[in-house]
Amino acid sequence: MNKNKSILFYSAKKYEIEFFEKFNKDYNFKIDYIESKLDNTFVNLAKGYDGICCFVHDDLNSFVLEKLASYNIRVVALRCAGYNNVDLCSAYEKKIHILRVPIYSPHAVAEHTIGLILSLNRKIHRAYNRVKDLNFDITGFLGIDLYKKVAGVIGTGNIGKIVARILRLGFQMEVLSYDVKPDYDFAKEIGIKYSDLDEIYKKSDIITLHLPLTKDSIYLLNEKAFEKMKEGVIIINTSRGGLINTKDLIKYLKNKKIGGAGLDVYEEEDEYFFQDYSATGITDDLLARLLTFPNVLITAHQAFFTKEAMENIAKVTLENLKDFFSGLNLKNEICYKCGQNIDSCNKQKYGRCFE
């Protein structure tokens, strides 16, 4: 029955299309791919489709969702885990189901996190450029042993747990962790400690973020937080850019309080990431300033980007769409009230969370 269902993919890139085309042979959806981002301007392109598929930078605001509802579109498949770009309340009101890929490869993001830590600490990115210029001087590349140092892992979901495990068991670091829902069994298993944010800020040599962007977590790392941190602390963010106040980050990079920052995300990344601006330059002054620091390493939201992750994203996204059109249980639908998957929200009834 899927072969008659048409899906429009917004923000589609060549490298992901090949995965969806490969796995769609088992689902037989009629898929059209466009590079345009879903927003107020391009929402009209969805007219005539049975559903749409979006990525992290597509803007599913109330206006867009109202338009989609008027086109009789009742399903939006997010090919990502995050949903801070979706007005969930508006989607619920308009009876549009928002499906996502909650887990695609936590190892991919965790391993990228470790790569950023090692590169910043040992200045590998700078050493590479220096040696390419035939300069073999190692002045300025002094790092520290991670062994016995303190790492603060904020957020211990699937990704955060893997990071904590690598840092604790692989590097034998002391790991302090924070989560609104601590997993004390996990902490006991690998020998880490759950703590409050103030202790993490005060004691950590490395702080890495692994939590979603919500109204409670926006700008979690700001001037007040940076003031509490150790001199020379390394900050890592492979979650969402809005977790860090970039202006405050720049201030504390300038005064040397922060020893390095590894960022796979940026709070205003929607305008730039996944695009090529090498010939035109950028106009974002904060991003441009970050790029001038030798102790800042930025990657363009690529932490998830492994073969295994792309395969899982394609398969789960297509399975989500199949379940919707088949009238099956939507295990990966997002509860508009609590943000959890409906099947894991134990207060869920008839699509409404009664928290």
User: Could you tell me if 96 and 185 lie in one domain?
Assistant: no
User: Could you tell me if 280 and 145 lie in one domain?
Assistant: yes
Provide the domain limits for residue 137: 106-298
Interval 142-180: pLDDT, tens: 999 999 999 999 999 999 999 999 999 999 999 999 999
For residue 340, what pLDDT is reported?
65
User: Could you tell me if 89 and 11 lie in one domain?
Assistant: yes
278-314 per-residue burial string, b: 16 or more CB within 10 A, e: under 16: eeeeeebeebebbeebebbbbbebebbbbeebbebbb
Instruction: Please identify every stretch of the chain with a pLDDT value under 50, giving residue numbers as ranges.
Output: 346-355
Rounded (5°) CA angle 202-206-207: 75
User: Could you tell me if 219 and 137 lie in one domain?
Assistant: yes
The residue annotated as part of the active site, out of 79, 97, 301, 319, is: 301
User: Could you tell me if 269 and 311 lie in one domain?
Assistant: no
The residue annotated as part of the active site, out of 240, 267, 319, 333, is: 240
Q: What Rg value do the Cα atoms of the chain yield, rounded?
A: 21
User: Could you tell me if 73 and 30 lie in one domain?
Assistant: yes
Rounded (5°) CA angle 104-105-109: 125
Identify the domain boundary among 298, 325, 344. Answer: 298
Identify the domain boundary among 276, 298, 320. Answer: 298
User: Could you tell me if 280 and 316 lie in one domain?
Assistant: no
CATH number, domain with residue 134: 3.40.50.720
Number of domains in the chain: 2
User: Could you tell me if 83 and 114 lie in one domain?
Assistant: no
pTM score above 0.85: yes
User: Could you tell me if 150 and 222 lie in one domain?
Assistant: yes
Question: Which stretches within the chain are classed as H helix?
Answer: 14-24, 62-70, 88-93, 106-122, 124-132, 158-165, 184-190, 197-203, 223-228, 246-254, 285-290, 307-325
What mean pLDDT value characterizes the chain?
A: 94
> Is 100 annotated as catalytic?
no
User: Could you tell me if 70 and 165 lie in one domain?
Assistant: no
Provide the residue type at 280 as one letter.
T
Handedness of CA 339, 303, 244, 170 (dihedral sign): positive
Q: HSE-up of 317 (CA within 13 Å, CB side)?
A: 30
> Is 79 annotated as catalytic?
no
Chain-centre distance of CA 272, in angstroms? 15
Within a 10 A sphere around the Cβ of 21, how many other Cβ atoms? 12
For residue 4, what pLDDT is reported?
83
> Is 269 annotated as catalytic?
yes
User: Could you tell me if 72 and 171 lie in one domain?
Assistant: no
Cα–Cα distances in angstroms (integers) from residue 29 to residues 5, 51, 300, 318, 325, in the given order: 6, 10, 30, 9, 11
Within a 10 A sphere around the Cβ of 158, how many other Cβ atoms? 17
Identify the domain boundary among 274, 298, 322. Answer: 298
User: Could you tell me if 223 and 77 lie in one domain?
Assistant: no
